Amino acid sequence: MGALRDSGSQKPIPEHLIASHEPDLDLGWCFSCKAHTTAKVVTKTWTNSEHRDVSRTYYVCKHCKRKNWYKPSDIYRGNKLGLGCLLIAVLITIIVFYSNKLFGFEYSTEFGLSSSGVVAIVLLLLGLGFSYQYKWRKWVRSQTQTTFGSSSNPSESQDPHG
Ligand SMILES: [Zn+2]
């Protein structure tokens, strides 16, 4: 199987591993290499506690061999979905904690704890998603600055300097 190298991202990315130099939301982007690298599909198979074979497919960046390879459009969608889930989970938690005041129900500790757990997990995933989004946007800004920064923009009438 492929050799794993920790210092893989330190080396410059070979041109043949780069899918595009221009930011593209629907092209996979490696968050370790900070580039539109090409990736290969890896299928991991293992036996779970119920003695059933489970397999999971994910993309691995061909340059650094890491799993941090996602489509930015998927990250955006995931973050939106995560925010929606967070809102629902927070609402459920609030309702559960105040259930006896609001509806006269008895407070259920188990349900309260599990919904707080969901909130914590969603927050964790959102933190990861938004750090990805931040890295991507930072890269897009740096790419667009080097690519389009020097070209004149005649349609632009707004001056950033007030
Ligand atoms: Zn990479």
pLDDT of residue 121 exceeding 60: yes
Q: How far is the CA of 21 from the centre of ligand 1 (A)?
A: 14
Q: What's the CA-to-centroid distance between 62 and ligand 1, angstroms?
A: 7
Q: Please compute the mean of the pLDDT values over residues 102-124 and round it to a whole number.
A: 79
Ligand 1 centre distance from Cα of residue 33 (Å): 4
Query: Looking at residue 161, what is its pLDDT?
Result: 55
Q: How many residues does the structure list for the chain?
A: 162
**Least confident residue range of 30-39, 45-54, 88-97:** 88-97
How far is ligand 1, taken at its centre, from the CA of residue 34, in Å?
7
What is the pLDDT at residue 107?
64
Distance 9 CA to ligand 1 centre (A): 6
Angle at 87 between CA 113 and CA 77, to 5 degrees: 120
The answer to whether the beta carbons of residues 19 and 38 sit under 8 Å apart is yes
Q: The pTM is what?
A: 0.69
**Cα-to-centroid distance, 148 and ligand 1 (Å):** 25
What is the predicted pLDDT for the residue at 10? 61
Separation of CA 19 and ligand 1 centre (Å)? 12
Contacts of 64 (CB under 8 A, 6+ apart): 5, 8, 9, 30, 32, 33, 37
For residue 140, which of 14, 11, 29 has the smallest C-alpha distance?
29
Please write the tens of the pLDDT for every residue from 51-106.
899 999 999 999 999 999 999 999 999 999 999 999 998 888 888 777 767 666 66
